[in-house]
Amino acid sequence: MNYLNESLNSIHDKLVNKELSATELTKATLANIKVVDKDINSFITVTEEEALASAKAIDEKGIDAENLLSGMPIALKDNLVTKGVNTTAASKMLADFKPIYSATAVEKLAAVDTVMVGKTNMDEFAMGGSTENSAFKITKNPWDTDRVPGGSSGGSAAAVASGQVLAALGSDTGGSIRQPASFNGIVGMKPTYGRVSRWGLIAFGSSFDQIGPMTRNVADNATVLNAIAGHDDHDLTSSNQAVPDFAANLNNGVAGLTIGLPSEYLGDGVDAKVKEIILAAAETYKQLGAKIVDISLPNTKYGVAAYYILTSSEASSNLQRFDGIRYGYRSPEAKNLEDLYVMSRTEGFGDEVKRRIMLGTYSLSAGFYDAYFKKAAQVRTLMNNDYTEAFKQVDVILTPAAPTPAYKIGAEVNDPMTMYMNDALTVPLNMSGLPGLSMPAGFSDGLPVGMQLIGRPYDEATIYQTANAFEQATDFHKQLPTLGGQN
């Protein structure tokens, strides 16, 4: 089964009408992955055995006609722990790690009878924007296999864009769902911080990380978020806010909504064609009845610096647990305990992870804490205030999701400074915990360009409403990559 021209609805109909059983669908999905993923490398692990077992159980129970996800194959980013199934975070450190429990988001997707078909490639520990920092493989962009799929959820994005699955989960600490969604011409949502439990998400920056859905269209995205959202006693930062039906307002249109265009997101460093596409999207919204207003988020330019101080600090603390003792890689050469720590970590982590750990350790160290960590945490407050002010005036903010379309594999991986600056348009949301979605908004030389819609805290429903109005009015989401010379 290739999903390039499908949606949850179209597949659900086939399952309900018994044109396909869950087992047949799963087998066809696995067969397609075998063919397509040879060129794309989205998956670190394909869970054939587990998938066929869950599909069989679903067939025995029967497809639930009321549940769009019943029997649906899905992929999971490999930093979501899955009981008994290898979970690597794309790190040599966890190459053979088999969790004893599953992440809450994973349990919730299993509870609505989805079928996990595999674990997707990513930047090691979600640190990076191109998936080139994986210890295992280079994922290719389905639109041009010489280009990166973005990251860190590049495997999930490429799997969806190449039609291997209809839906995948990613995680987003500074843009890791939205930027690859943009590079791959799909829909990716980073929900409000606290909307989805982080229990079982391998921690990177705990006050930033959030799990979210990556899909081929807006409605499917809302359906998957419905399944994974909600408070969880295992994650005490998960919110007690009521979870609405995120798909309820999809067809309400944008008449009466005010959409803000922040000048800071359309300035230097943003590709001219990308800027043109975002302004054209604003024009589309105007024609659909929305009010477009220019706004300013003046502290945006400090976002990257503050973000890298804070997330590297959190990462340096979170990654202390990898000590070569209880689980994970242990250096075979170590003769004493100190060497065991140092050698296991030095051999087990890749360069980008080491850079972040060192930056974080530096920012938190005696004598530097006030100038770096505390200062960045204060700038975070100022950035939050910018958004609070803006949302007094607008319902949704429209920006590019990334300054450029997908770039060539190898072009930037050795230049961390450039890589970090690429995150300027996505990190501010994670600083403030706001929800944001990236969706197809146009093409630049045949490569997809995404737009980002930012909403008020816990107001994912208005983002989906705004996104769906654009999707219905345009056909960017219907354009398909050419895979191996065929569709």
| Tally: H helices and E strands in the chain | 15, 11
Which lies closer to another protein via its Cβ, residue 241 or residue 474?
241
Which lies closer to another protein via its Cβ, residue 96 or residue 245?
96
**Marked catalytic residue, from 42, 152, 162, 316:** 152
* Binding of residue 86 to another protein (CB under 8 A): no
* Binding of residue 18 to another protein (CB under 8 A): no
**Where is 169: in which H helix or E strand?**
strand 167-172
* Binding of residue 35 to another protein (CB under 8 A): no
Choice from 371, 408, 446, 484 touching another protein (CB under 8 A): 371
- Nearest in space to 55 (alpha carbons), one of 30, 79, 33, 86: 30
**Where is 382: in which H helix or E strand?**
helix 375-390
77 an active-site residue?
Answer: yes
Distance from C-alpha of 79 to C-alpha of 71, rounded to nearest angstrom: 23
Site map 54..73 versus another protein, x via CB under 8 A: --------------------
Distance from C-alpha of 106 to C-alpha of 245, rounded to nearest angstrom: 19
Which lies closer to another protein via its Cβ, residue 96 or residue 283?
96
Evaluated on CA atoms 477, 172, 50, 66, the torsion sign reads negative
Choice from 9, 17, 287, 346 touching another protein (CB under 8 A): 346
* Binding of residue 443 to another protein (CB under 8 A): no
* Binding of residue 384 to another protein (CB under 8 A): yes
Which lies closer to another protein via its Cβ, residue 395 or residue 423?
423
**Marked catalytic residue, from 14, 77, 108, 119:** 77
Identity of the residue numbered 130: S
Footprint of another protein on 405-424 (CB under 8 A): 416-417, 420
**Marked catalytic residue, from 54, 70, 176, 312:** 176
130 an active-site residue?
Answer: no
Choice from 227, 379, 401, 409 touching another protein (CB under 8 A): 379
Footprint of another protein on 266-305 (CB under 8 A): 299, 302, 304-305
Contact range with another protein by CB under 8 A, out of 98-106, 119-127, 151-159, 476-484: 98-106
Report angle CA 129, 131, 132 to the nearest 5 degrees: 105
Residue 25: exposed, middle, or buried by beta-carbon count in 10 A (0-12, 13-18, 19+)? buried
Contact range with another protein by CB under 8 A, out of 45-53, 62-70, 131-139, 232-240: 232-240
153 an active-site residue?
Answer: no
End-to-end CA distance of the chain: 12
Which alpha helices (DSSP H) does 65-126 contain, by range? Answer: 104-111
Footprint of another protein on 323-342 (CB under 8 A): 323-330, 334-337, 339-342
User: How many CB atoms sit inside 10 A of residue 263's CB?
Assistant: 12
CB neighbour list of residue 334: distance below 8 Å, 6 or more residues apart:
324, 340, 343, 344
Strands 187-190 and 115-120: unpaired
Footprint of another protein on 179-198 (CB under 8 A): 193-194
* Binding of residue 97 to another protein (CB under 8 A): yes
| Least distance between another protein and beta carbon 153 (Å) | 21
Strands 436-444 and 167-172: unpaired
User: From the centroid of its chain, how far is CA 136?
Assistant: 19
* Binding of residue 239 to another protein (CB under 8 A): yes
* Binding of residue 95 to another protein (CB under 8 A): no
Contact range with another protein by CB under 8 A, out of 132-140, 281-289, 347-355, 460-468: 347-355
Which alpha helices (DSSP H) does 62-125 contain, by range? Answer: 104-111
**Residues assigned a catalytic role:** 77, 152, 176
